[in-house]
Structures are given as structure tokens and as C-alpha cells.
Structure 1
């Protein structure tokens, strides 16, 4: 007993439990600041607190608690205190949370605020039932059907995916040897961001970005804006019912984790059948480490798939290797991209 008490006195500390258990306080503070466009308003400027409050049309009660919480969470910097306060962005929030900059990644966080936050409130029910807790729970429609039939929700979803994947796709374009190949088909290409990122660095590649018909106009607009219509073709594809087009490289960004094991295997097999000998399937996900001890974001993304899909989940390289070898691929490899994200590659 004395040994236990001594150990507790020296080691045990409830701080981490409280920080995570009440973590939704910090999360909602940041998400609300993004929703209110606090970081966009500040931009590269130092603004007086009252100017910020007036321009955002916020009540005086709680305003300085809100702003100073953002300071303590290291999302803002402050000079002076109270009604004399001036605020400015940190280097990170100025770069990544100002909507006026191309480096903005807040789209995924806007979606988290407007969609995911309330759905995650039903995580317990998801764990008990194994059923999605998103739009399908209320409409009976599969999640992508529900999203794709609402233009505003679809645009927010596309913006969210673009923000979180931009760095990963740029890293992939640098790290994967695309110079060895001549053609690429991006399955589930969404707004064509992966295609644009790769095409910009590898002008010799001919690329096709494929997704469901409602997404095609969004992708085409982005390709045109990038001036890459000579290199990127935008087309429609129902990945589950149609064959994949022939290409030397097939990519899937955040696609496989949407599906259960049987459908994952089906998509990998489709890719194998469409690739030539020495072709490559490249899958970008938050790949969970094989020991399932380190990539907390990947594991929580898998929980998000529980919330969002009928059977989806994130996975390890070992699991991907098993599915890919089973489809006929000769070998697999993992390429770290940014943060918790990696590309797993299957070579034919």
C-alpha cells in the first residue's frame, strides 16, 4: 500500500485526463473563432480588441475571455490587457487560418464545426450499434448521396478535403517517382487537387481526375483556374460499379477508408486490373502504425469513419499489404507525407 501511495505521489497526475476529457472546450473555442473569421479579420494586422468586437458584431460579455482563451491556447498574440488589448495572429494562424491566403486549411475545421461536432456527440451510440451517426441517421440516405445532393454542403466538404490534403498532395508529388511514369488516374479525385499538385511538378504526365457527376463541375473549374486543361482531363466514374481507366499510376486520396474490408479489396482489385506490369497503386490516408500505439489521429479518423460510414475504417500498412498481395500485387511500401498522413504504394 505504501508503495502504491509513493508511486501515485511521484507519478500520478490528473492533468492529462482533464485536458483530454474537457478538450471540447478548446476545440469549440478554436472552431468558433474560425467560423467567426477572427483569424481572417486579423490577417497580418495588430487590431484593438474593441475594433475586433465591433467588426464581428459580438456582445461584450465573454468577448475578452474568448479572445484571451485563444491567446492561452497559442492561436493569438496579445499586447496590453483588458479593454486596452491589441491582438494579432501567430505565425501559424496567419498562414493557415486566414481565408485570404492560399495556404488556408480551415475548410476541414469549418466542416468539423458545422457537421462533425454534433455527430461526434453520438459516439457512444455509434459504438453500441455500429451504425453511422451523420445525415444517414436522419435521412436514410448514404452519406455521400446526402452530401452530394446539397450543393452548399458538397462545396464545404470539397473545401474541407482540399485544406487538409493540400500539403500531403504536394509532398506526394515530391517524394513519389512520377518521372518514371507517363499516365495517372486519380480515383475519387474530388476537386482535382491531387491531380493539380502532381501535374504542376510533373508536366510530362497525362492525368485523369474521376469522381461522381456532381463533383465534375467543381473539379473542372479548378483545373481551368490552374491552367492545366491540356494536361488534366476531368471525367465521371462510379468507382464501385464501373471499371477503372487504364493508367500507369492509380491514386486514391482518402478513399479506401470509406469502405469495409470487402469493398476495400474490390477497389484494390479494380486498380490491379487497370494497371500495366510495373504500374503502381498509390493510396493516401492517415495510415495507422502497425503497433497501433502512436498515430492517434489515424485511430480517431477511423472512429470518424464509424460516425460517417456504414463500414469504413482506417488501417495499417500490414493490413494494406495483405489486401494488395491478395489482389496480385508483388510488393508494397510506405511513404510518409506530412503529419499523421502517409502514402502506401502497391507495385504490380
Structure 2
């Protein structure tokens, strides 16, 4: 947060940064092409010796012109540097080539976000995911249609989602299962990975996935393949339908990167609905990425960038929140946070909440 609470640039640096922003799409696409054409991999194999334009062009089956325009753009992004006539892969280039998080982020940006973000201004003005029409003009939100996304957008979406949620699962699971729940509801269970993991780890646990029917159908083959049909169930439900029926036997209502898919008002409504159906002693466990709780500025930057995916593509009015806003949602819905756990890695926070006592 301190990084964002003061002016970061003098006048000269500021105008330079402004140009980097103005031409940022060019740097992204050049970096993408350098990775996809094998230029980064070849330069990595050459080590500190580097390679000339001609050598790279010959190895990667590109023209020298193509190699030169891509790598000269890469110079400005720190992807590579020059040693005489040789291009040498820089540290940034090594991360672009090898770092799993960076690769997942780039694939998500390229395949899911890049073209739709051209409609961001319309989404901001209309409060609707105007960029979603790139995939289908009839879709209102992305969530019921995730399995219908064209490849490679579909694969990149699920890889992005699972990369960040899966990283925190083990540690979050330690906290959640320490409450010794006999019944757990996985709200917004997506493909069922959390539900299956919990049921596998605790053979006495019953898990119910509460999600859209389309998502339940997506999770069912995984549940069947894991041999957990008797203990992991699906309950098709739209959590935004305030009057719809919910089961109420869970000891734990689990939500992983679920509430960031909704607006402030919708989050409060969902939490109020859950509160009405909770049995005494039950808890809500919320695993989220908050942009103000990150250890590194790059992580806060990435979360705020991903919020624009929600704006332009997902639903038009959700985001990765500041932790204070989530606390406010919980208070408005009648909950108090009894515990919070910071989970290392991408920077998740686990909030454990219970309903406030009802006033007489």
C-alpha cells in the first residue's frame, strides 16, 4: 500500500512511463511472439554468448526482419540486452520463458482478455461486460458458459483460475478441517477440485457443491472419476436468487475466489442469504486475494489488472477487492470475522466468520 501513497516519478521519469503505457500493447505482443516463436528458448540455450539476428532467424525459421523488430522491442522491456552484435536473454526474458505464474498470466491475457479489453470503455460506461461479445453476443455473463469458451481461451481461463486457487488449497484446508466439519458446502465449486480434495483428505466428510447447474455438470465427471459419488454431491443453484432454497446442514460454508465475482451489493445479498440458512455454530470461510494485502507491488498491480477482466468480460461490476471492503460486506450481512489467516504464495487471505448474535 505504501507504494501507492506517494508520487513515484519525477517529471522526466513520468513522461517515460507515460510512453511505456501508451505502447504497452506492442511490448506485450512482441514478448508473446518471442515466446511462441521459440526465440526466448533459443537465446536461453545460448547463455551469455547470445546470438546474432541471422543465427536466431535461421534457428527459429523466421526472417531477420521479424527477429529484429521483436527483439528491438524486447530491449525496451528488459527482455533482452545487446552485447555487441549479439542479443542476450535478460532476467525478464527468462521469467517470460520459464516462470509458471508469468506463463499462466500471459496466456490468460492473450487468449481471454486481449481482444475483449478493447471494449473496456463501453463496459465502464454501461456497467456491462461489453467485451464478452467477442466470444458470444448473447452471453450476459461469462460464468454459465465457461465450458463453452473456444480454445485456447477455455484452457487458459481454467489454468489461470486453478493456478491461483490451487496454490493456497493445502494451507487453507489445514485451517478449515481443523474445525472438524462433518458437512461442508463448497459455494461456487467450479470444477469440484476443492470438494474432491477435502473429501479425499477426510473420509468422513460430506461435501455439497452449490453452483450453477452448468458448473455442477462440469464437476460431476471429476467426482465420478475420483470415486466420491457417495460423499460429494451437487446442488444446482443461482446464489443471486435471494428467495431460492438452500440446504442448511453444513458446518462450513466455503467460498474460494467466489465473492470477487460479484458487486458489493451482490456480495452482501449472497452472505445474507447464506446467513438465513446457516445452522447454529456453522462458519463461513472465505478465501480471497485482496490487493491491499500483497507483499509485493507487482502482485497488487496484477490483481488490479485482473479486476478489469471482471469489468470488461466476466460480469461488468465485480473485482478483486480491498480487504476493508470485504469486511464491510460481512458487517452489512450480519457477520463478524473471528479469525483471519494470511497464506503465503500469491497472497491469499482466509477469513473465518460467524453470524453476529441476534438482538432480542
Is the pair's TM-score, using the shorter chain for normalization, greater than 0.5? Answer: yes
1:61 aligns with 2:60: no
Higher RCO (C-alpha 8 Å, min separation 6):
2
Partner secondary structure for residue 65 of structure 2? coil
Specify the alignment match of 1:165 in structure 2. Answer: 165
Specify the alignment match of 1:346 in structure 2. Answer: 353
Partner secondary structure for residue 255 of structure 2? strand
Partner secondary structure for residue 247 of structure 1? coil
Q: Which of the residues 141, 144, 155 maps onto 1:143?
A: 141
1:323 aligns with 2:340: no
1:254 aligns with 2:257: yes
Q: Distance in 1 between matches of 2:10 and 2:214?
A: 59
Q: Distance in 2 between matches of 1:51 and 1:288?
A: 43
Q: Distance in 2 between matches of 1:197 and 1:37?
A: 37
Given that 2:336 and 2:353 are in contact with CA atoms closer than 8 Å, whether structure 1 keeps it comes out as: yes
Distance of aligned partners of 1:65 and 1:220 in 2 relative to their CA distance in 1, 3 Å threshold: farther
**TM-score, normalised with respect to structure 1:** 0.71
Distance of aligned partners of 1:165 and 1:331 in 2 relative to their CA distance in 1, 3 Å threshold: closer
Specify the alignment match of 2:29 in structure 1. Answer: 28
Where structure 2 has 5 or more consecutive residues not aligned to the other structure, the ranges are 1-8, 356-360
Given that 1:119 and 1:307 are in contact with CA atoms closer than 8 Å, whether structure 2 keeps it comes out as: yes
Kindly state the Cα deviation for residue 221 of structure 1 after the two structures are TM-superposed.
4.1
Specify the alignment match of 1:6 in structure 2. Answer: none
Specify the alignment match of 1:215 in structure 2. Answer: 215
Specify the alignment match of 1:192 in structure 2. Answer: 192
Distance of aligned partners of 1:281 and 1:165 in 2 relative to their CA distance in 1, 3 Å threshold: same
**TM-score, normalised with respect to structure 2:** 0.69
Kindly state the Cα deviation for residue 118 of structure 1 after the two structures are TM-superposed.
1.6
Q: Which of the residues 338, 341, 358 maps onto 1:335?
A: 341
Q: 1:1-348 residue pairs with structure 2 within 5 A? A: 12-14=12-14, 15-32=16-33, 36=36, 38=38, 42=41, 46=45, 58-63=62-67, 66=70, 82=86, 90=94, 93-94=97-98, 96=100, 106-136=103-133, 139-144=137-142, 145-150=144-149, 152=151, 153-174=153-174, 176-182=175-181, 183-199=183-199, 205-223=205-223, 227=226, 229=228, 233-240=232-239, 241=241, 242-245=244-247, 246-289=249-292, 295-308=300-313, 309-331=315-337, 333-337=339-343, 338-348=345-355
**RMSD in angstroms over aligned alpha carbons?**
4.3
Where structure 1 has 5 or more consecutive residues not aligned to the other structure, the ranges are 1-8, 98-104
Distance of aligned partners of 1:310 and 1:71 in 2 relative to their CA distance in 1, 3 Å threshold: closer
Kindly state the Cα deviation for residue 274 of structure 1 after the two structures are TM-superposed.
3.7
